[in-house]
Every structure is written in C-alpha cells, then in structure tokens.
Amino acid sequence: MEWKVSDQLIAYPDALAFMERRVADIRMGMAEECVWLLEHPPLYTGGTSARAADLLEARFPVFETGRGGQYTYHGPGQRVGYVMLDLKKRGAQDVRKYVRDLEEWIILSLRELGVTAERRAERVGLWVAVANGREDKIAAIGVRLQHWITFHGVSINVNPTLSHYAGIVPCGINEHGVTSLAALGVDAPMVDLDAALEKNWGKVFQP
C-alpha cells in the first residue's frame, strides 16, 4: 500500500490521469494499492447523477467525471482522498460496504479532532448537526470502480472558502448547507487531519 501526500495543488486532469493509470496497473499486478491525499485548485466536478440545473454559476472550471454522485466543489483548504483499492483481491466485492467503510474512516478521524460526523440514511456524505435543527455536510463521497478496483474517493472540509459552494447545489441538496472544521471552531491544520486519517486507516481497511 502506497500512502501518498501532495503539498502542492494538483490539477484535476492530472489527478484523474494518475488514478486511471494506477487502476490499470493494479489490475495488471504492476502497482500496489494507493491512498493519495491532496488539494485541488478551485473547481467543480459533476458525477453520474449530476443535474444541469444544479450548476448555478460556473465560476470555476467544471469537470464531468465518471464517479457516482452529483455536483461538488474542490479547492484549497479541502483534503481530498483518492483511494485505489483492489476489492476483489481483498475479498470485499460489496460497493455499499466499501462506501460505509469510507464513511467510518472519516468518522473515526474527525472524532479525533473533536467533531462528531454522522451518516444520514437518505443522504450520501457525512453531516454535522448545527443550530435550529440544521445539518451541514462536512465530507463528501463519490466513488467509481473498474473491475472491482476503486478510484475517486472522499473530500473533507478543513478550511476551504465555503462561499465557493454557492455556484452549485452541493450534491443536489438545497435544504442543508456545508461546513468545515474551521467554521465549527476547530483550529486543526491539514497535517493533523492527515495524521488522523493515516492512524485510522488500518482500523477500517485491513491490509
């Protein structure tokens, strides 16, 4: 397993090209599995369920992807985790379980930073309860599989510019908002989240 962390902003097409190559190489037995933690410059991505009406204002570049889900935002201050695993080799050919495992990985990691992130049966992603019964999304999940090898993955808001979400209806959900560690009053640098993610990886995903 390769654990890869990039300190510089990674262009989305470059990240996608890397994932596609790695997935092909994993399938051929020419590369090991990989988790890649990175940040992107400001951009929007649309998943396979994205609705045109949910792209309100294309204020940043828009990339149509093959991952599941709808529109989301990526940008500085958001930790993106691209996960490339061979579920067939792991004997775990269950997409729903894989998504729940990604959720559990994030839940455990954010708990170490003092944030309680929760699942909602009717909504993908992880949510934080805020005032007046409102719930804001702190982490998004969108995955794709080829021959049971995963790619794309998760995004967790550390300290992004939340107003950048205004150009889309995030994940097609109007009635709830988005939040970040910083917005919740948690002053945690990216390296602290990275350490928590690495620490909790093995608690969810066995070697």
pLDDT for the residue numbered 175: 63
Total residue length of the chain:
207
CATH code for position 158:
3.30.930.10
Note if 171 is an active site residue. Answer: yes
Q: Which of 15, 145, 171, 190 is catalytic?
A: 171
Q: What's the domain count of the chain?
A: 1
Give pLDDT, residue 162. Answer: 97
Q: Give the model's pLDDT for residue 134.
A: 83
pTM of the model: 0.96
| CA distance linking residue 102 with residue 185, whole number of Å | 24
Give the whole-angstrom CA distance, residue 163 versus residue 143. 25
Residue 66: domain span: 2-204
8-state DSSP, 207:
-
Closest CA to 2 of 198, 179, 204, 203: 198
Token pair, residue 173, equals 């959900």
Confidence at residue 37, expressed as pLDDT on a 0 to 100 scale: 98
Alpha-helical (H) ranges within 66-189 are 95-112
Q: What is the pLDDT of residue 201?
A: 98
Mean pLDDT by 10 residues, the chain (207 residues): 97 98 98 98 95 93 92 97 97 95 98 96 88 88 97 98 94 79 97 98 92
Report pLDDT for 172.
67
